[in-house]
């Protein structure tokens, strides 16, 4: 929301207060309410307020509106896991991918990186891997970002598959073909850093990735 939305936002909360038989919010409370919801659009906030008022006997608080917009943490983690599983099936370990959320990248990096995650994903371990992912995803939502601003953990803009890892280790400065995990479209090509030295087997490349931070679990 922007400054020009303040009047309509305040009007929505006045309607809510009237419906619940409560006095209008004070100026300071209204200012804080707006500040906490400012990153969302006015349309999102209005829809969330309407949904809350249709389902709850209590005056909406900022956290109620946020939960209506974003869903529960468990639901977000489940949706992210479903997207990851779809990408595993669609692309596999050899393809470099990009997910829409830094929290997903954070979680997969903590679980060994994209290539290792795909290669070690066994059917009988899926429930345990899903649980691990949900925990790391929740951590990522709190601390991860694309740029590392404000003390957050900077995550890679894409996750390297085995083909890209092999090219890096072999010293080939080839552009990485990165796929959007949601749409399947090829994203803008990026120049890769040249690896050092001789031709290295892909298993060694993966081992190097694990030693440099991709092997956490």
Beta-carbon contacts of residue 10 (< 8 Å; ≥ 6 apart)? 30, 34
Whether residue 110 has pLDDT greater than 60: yes
Higher-pLDDT residue of 34, 214? 34
- Rounded to a whole number of angstroms, the CA Rg of the chain reads 22
The SS3 of residue 93 is coil
User: What gap in Å lies between CA 215 and CA 217, rounded to an integer?
Assistant: 6
Q: pLDDT at position 148, please?
A: 93
Task: Summarize pLDDT for 73-104 with one digit per residue, the tens.
Answer: 999 999 999 999 999 999 999 999 999 999 99
Largest CA distance in the chain: 75
What are the boundaries of each domain within the chain?
A: 3-70, 74-214
With a pLDDT cut of 70, the percent of the chain lying above it is 86
191 DSSP β-pair partners: 175
CB 163, CB 195: distance < 8 Å? no
Q: pLDDT at position 175, please?
A: 73
User: What gap in Å lies between CA 5 and CA 176, rounded to an integer?
Assistant: 42
Q: How many CA atoms does the CB half-sphere of 47 hold within 13 Å? A: 9
């Amino acid at each position: 929301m922007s400054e020009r939305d303040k009047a309509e936002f305040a009007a929505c909360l006045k309607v809510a207060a009237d419906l619940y038989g409560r006095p209008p919010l004070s100026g300071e409370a209204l200012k804080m309410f707006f500040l906490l919801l400012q990153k969302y659009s006015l349309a999102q906030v209005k829809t969330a307020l309407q949904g809350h008022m249709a389902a709850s006997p209590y005056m909406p608080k900022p956290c109620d509106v946020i939960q209506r917009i974003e869903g529960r943490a468990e639901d977000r983690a489940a949706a992210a896991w479903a997207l990851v599983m779809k990408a595993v099936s669609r692309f596999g370990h050899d393809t470099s991918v990009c997910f829409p959320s830094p929290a997903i990248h954070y979680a997969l990096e903590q679980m060994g990186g994209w290539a290792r995650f795909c290669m070690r994903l066994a059917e009988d371990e899926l429930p345990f891997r899903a649980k691990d992912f949900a925990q790391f995803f929740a951590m990522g939502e709190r601390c991860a970002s694309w740029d590392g601003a404000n003390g957050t953990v900077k995550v890679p803009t894409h996750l390297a598959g085995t083909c890209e890892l092999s090219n890096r280790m072999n010293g080939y400065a080839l552009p990485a073909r990165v796929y959007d995990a949601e749409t399947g479209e090829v994203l803008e090509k990026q120049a890769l850093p040249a690896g050092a030295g001789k031709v290295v087997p892909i298993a060694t490349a993966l081992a190097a990735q694990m030693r440099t931070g991709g092997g956490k679990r």
